[in-house]
């Protein structure tokens, strides 16, 4: 699922630069699996459909839902899917704009609108009052979650809950029997209070890929080194250390205001048969492709230039939300 940028959102003055990136991501996904796009109006949906058909995409794989939206970060306002006795269940966690930083009323209602318009067919959805963004957790698919205390324990998200109570809810709602907390790690320009999907990710249940840093003068250098050390101390459910794969550090990317932008190679997306990797027109791109290929030897690595995206503090994985087998999209209203 993607939520498309429009003139009424934060991308208004950058649409010409970012829409080609969105289109590249959408086409790479739709060549391999079904694609659902939240659009601001019918004109946008029709224009996008024509563009994707022009890329040779099968129209049967395209689903367009008309809904208001505040922003485009589907990873954080999209529903998370769990399996309940083997059947998919969609969990609609509350989204509060990354701790009340940004408007989010429309984004928080997208999942309910999708359900009401029949996009998910008969797959059930539960609305959860806990504030939880998809980018703040990463799962090995076997009951282990990787997350950061700086985000999940941030007082602007769930101020009435202790860390133990939040962990208990993650165990109950997501079936997480093993939760790994990172106390360190940051990327300049990331305004999510430390989403894990910019820092460290599971490549498989025994392997963690993480964003390394060799720029000693960087403000987050010490924090990223401390995170690297902490990753080495983590153990899986069997008590075994993880295989750790560092991703290279790109050169500094700054916005029009001179502020550092969050260029992270850890923000990759798995799709059927491939890994979509954000690259940044940087000498380190080649090394990042090579490292990811070593982690996913049976998948095609598809680099997508995401330099225009990081001006709004996120990258490729942040824009997308995947759904597992068992969740089928339906054209709205059917």
- In this model, does residue 334 exceed pLDDT 80? no
pLDDT band of 256, cuts 50, 70, 90: confident
Rounded-to-integer distance, Cα 12 and Cα 15, Å: 6
- The DSSP H or E segment spanning 311 is none
- Largest Cα separation within the chain, whole Å, is 56
77: three-class secondary structure by DSSP: helix
- The DSSP H or E segment spanning 68 is none
Judge contact between 210 and 245, C-beta under 8 A. Answer: yes
Backbone angles phi, psi at 109, to 5 degrees: -105, -5
pLDDT at 333: 80
pLDDT band of 332, cuts 50, 70, 90: very high
Rounded-to-integer distance, Cα 75 and Cα 272, Å: 18
Write the pLDDT tens digit of every residue in 138-191.
999 999 999 999 999 999 999 999 999 999 999 999 999 999 999 999 999 999
For residue 186, give Cα distances in angstroms to 182, 259, 270: 11, 15, 23
pLDDT at 257: 86
Judge contact between 186 and 223, C-beta under 8 A. Answer: yes
CA 276 to chain centre: 12
- In this model, does residue 315 exceed pLDDT 70? yes
Rounded-to-integer distance, Cα 227 and Cα 208, Å: 12
Share of the chain above pLDDT 70, in %: 100
Token digits of residue 210:
């993480």
In terms of pLDDT, which residue wins out, 62 or 160? 62
Judge contact between 213 and 221, C-beta under 8 A. Answer: yes
Task: Output the CA angle 24-267-183, nearest 5 degrees.
Answer: 165
Q: How does the average pLDDT of the chain come out, rounded?
A: 96
Nearest residue to 193 via CA among 73, 304, 313? 313
Judge contact between 177 and 143, C-beta under 8 A. Answer: yes
Write the pLDDT tens digit of every residue in 10-40.
899 999 999 999 999 999 999 999 999 999 9
- The DSSP H or E segment spanning 125 is strand 125-131
Nearest residue to 195 via CA among 104, 267, 285, 110? 267
pLDDT at 204: 97
Token digits of residue 179:
């939760």
Which DSSP category does 309 fall into?
G
pLDDT at 9: 87
3.30.720.210, 3.40.50.1260, 3.75.10.10, 2.30.130.40: CATH of 2-319: 3.75.10.10
Length of the chain: 334
CA 85 to chain centre: 26
Rounded-to-integer distance, Cα 128 and Cα 152, Å: 15
Task: Determine the average pLDDT of the residues in 244-266.
Answer: 95
């Amino acid at each position: 699922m993607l939520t498309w940028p429009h003139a009424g959102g934060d991308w208004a003055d950058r649409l010409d630069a970012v829409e080609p990136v969105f289109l590249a991501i959408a086409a790479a996904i739709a060549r391999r699996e079904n694609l659902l796009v939240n659009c601001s109006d019918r004109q946008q949906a029709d224009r996008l459909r024509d563009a994707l058909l022009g890329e040779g995409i099968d129209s049967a794989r395209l689903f367009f839902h008309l809904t208001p939206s505040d922003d485009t970060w589907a990873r954080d306002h999209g529903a998370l899917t769990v399996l309940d006795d083997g059947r998919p269940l969609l969990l609609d966690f509350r989204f509060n704009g990354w701790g009340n930083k940004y408007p989010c009323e429309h984004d928080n209602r997208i999942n309910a609108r999708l359900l009401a318009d029949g996009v998910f067919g008969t797959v059930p959805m539960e609305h959860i009052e806990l504030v939880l963004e998809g980018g703040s957790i990463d799962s090995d698919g076997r009951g282990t979650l990787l997350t950061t205390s700086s985000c999940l324990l941030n007082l602007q998200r769930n101020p009435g809950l202790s860390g133990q109570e939040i962990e208990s809810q993650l165990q109950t709602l997501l079936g997480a029997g093993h939760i790994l907390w990172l106390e360190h790690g940051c990327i300049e320009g990331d305004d999510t209070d430390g989403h894990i999907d910019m820092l460290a990710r599971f490549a498989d249940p025994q392997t963690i890929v993480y964003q390394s840093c060799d720029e000693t003068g960087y403000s987050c250098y010490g924090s990223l080194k401390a995170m690297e050390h902490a990753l080495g101390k983590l153990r899986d459910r069997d008590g075994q250390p993880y295989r750790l794969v560092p991703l290279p550090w790109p050169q500094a990317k700054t916005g029009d205001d001179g502020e550092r932008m969050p260029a992270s190679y850890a923000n990759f997306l798995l799709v059927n048969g491939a890994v979509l990797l954000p690259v940044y027109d940087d000498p380190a791109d080649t090394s990042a492709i090579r490292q990811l290929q070593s982690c996913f030897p049976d998948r095609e690595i598809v680099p997508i230039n995401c330099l225009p995206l990081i001006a709004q503090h996120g990258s490729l994985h942040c824009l997308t939300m995947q759904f597992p087998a068992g969740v089928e999209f339906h054209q709205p209203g059917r």
